[in-house]
Amino acid sequence: MSTATQPMPARDARAIADAFRPAHPLGNRHAYFYTRAKLASDPLYPGVCNALRGCDAPLLDIGCGMGLLAHALRRDGQAMAYRGVDVVARKIEHARLAATRARLQDVAFEVLDLERGQPAHSGSVAILDVLQFIDPAAQDATLAGAVAMLTPGARLVIRTGLDDGSGRARITRGVDVFSRIVRWMPSSLRAYPRRDALQARLHAAGLRATFEPLYGRTPFNNWLVVAQRD
């Protein structure tokens, strides 16, 4: 297994998670423990850092959650301008506070509902664990909008489950449904893209795309898709 498909080292996960500790000793530590567990178990962030390494185009992180990608990029030595948007205000609140505590430079966060329009941006785009929570028509619109934002040399990085009928796909579906039940995700599961359809859509937009499984040590059917113009 390559380092890009392994979780972040535990020491790095702890260092990032420290920015999410509550200010008061008796405060709610959910964000801290979630961040530490997520970073130490999910290969998402090393995979995305590897995909973006060597590209200094400004990055828009669509569905940024608590902004963990910004922390991972800075810890990886990547200094491109970063802007994260998410529809969940409490996540953006956590993201802003943690970024300030960690003294992240050139980082911004914004509450934004993609169903009401996409932000203006030119550069690279990350869409991580988002597509399956929006309708297929909205998936097409989100992808088309992201492609239009790409500048020469910029990259489109997607992490998503795929509809391939596998056991991993069934497990992933169950967890995504549960995430909505506990209100961690703002939307219900809609539809996973099929690899052939997603690849064809990106190719039609003039992009060359690679697909890499990003399972790590998880049971989930997660894939990393990296696309850019030839």
User: Is the pLDDT at 115 greater than 90, yes or no?
Assistant: no
* Amino acid, res. 87: V
User: Is the pLDDT at 184 greater than 60, yes or no?
Assistant: no
pTM metric for this prediction: 0.90
Note the pLDDT tens digit of each residue in 88-101. Answer: 999 999 999 999 99
Query: How far, CA to CA in Å, does 168 sit from each of 8, 56, 213, 223?
Result: 22, 34, 11, 11
Note the pLDDT tens digit of each residue in 36-90. Answer: 999 999 999 999 999 999 999 999 999 999 999 999 999 999 999 999 999 999 9
Main-chain dihedrals φ then ψ at residue 153, nearest 5 degrees: 85, -10
Mean pLDDT for 209-224 is 89
| Cα distance from N-terminal residue to C-terminal residue, the chain | 28
Give the CATH class of 43-229. alpha beta
- Please give the angle made by the CA atoms of 193, 209 and 5, to the nearest 5 degrees: 80
Give the CA-trace dihedral at 119, 120, 124, 126, to 10 degrees: 0
Mean pLDDT for 154-172 is 90
Lowest mean pLDDT among 27-31, 141-145, 158-162, 209-213: 27-31
Distance CA 43, CA 58 (A): 23
Supply the pLDDT for residue 59.
Answer: 98
**Residue ranges per structural domain of the chain:** 43-229
